[in-house]
Amino acid sequence: MTRQTPSLSHIHRFVDGDRAHPLLLLHGTGGDEDDLVPLGEAVAPGTALLSPRGQVREGSANRFFRRLAEGVFDLADLEARTQALADFVAEGRRAYGLGAPVALGFSNGANIAAALLLRRPEALAGAVLLRAMVPFEPQNAPDLSGKPVLILSGAADPIIPAENARRLAEILTGAGAAVTHQVLPAGHGLTREDLTRTTAWLRGLAG
């Protein structure tokens, strides 16, 4: 069953399923609340999906936070939007009776998922970060002890330098997260290998 409920703080789509282990779907620049639903259904069949729309507009494109240039983020806006998204997750959990979700984010959505881990780790049970980069360098690392995180980077990604992706893995590992970082023979776009590895990783959590 699918429900769309704009009465919460973010326009979103909810796909019902296993509510104990839901996915929080976070789209990339130009996406919306429908964008990652097919991916969520493919990698975690039968799982409840909570998919908000980013509240920032860049031209005609939806984003989760503002940027000043490619790879240069508006850190004040990122902070505010991260807090607002964490509050939305809490609203969605109450409204739909959900457990803590695992974030599944792509690009801009992966970056704000990483920011959630660093700013509001209680909002997430873990995260799959597809083509993510460092959202900011935390002054004080949160306690992410044992929190599972999968980072899938593209070896030929023209947007995210390999060192930046490695630094993100280092930051999260240093905070105690159980990080798996894999570099795929891909660019910035997603491939079948992303789907295969994400599916296997999520099954490992459930198993």
List, by residue number, the catalytic residues. 107, 157, 188
- Cα–Cα distance for residue pair 74/16, rounded to 1 Å: 34
DSSP string of 80-139, one letter each residue? HHHHHHHHHHHHHHHHHT--PPEEEEETHHHHHHHHHHHH-GGG-SEEEEES-------S
Q: Is 84 exposed, middle or buried (0-12, 13-18, 19+ CB in 10 A)?
A: middle
d(CA 111, CA 131): 8
Q: Minimal CA–CA distance to 145: which of 105, 112, 178, 114?
A: 178
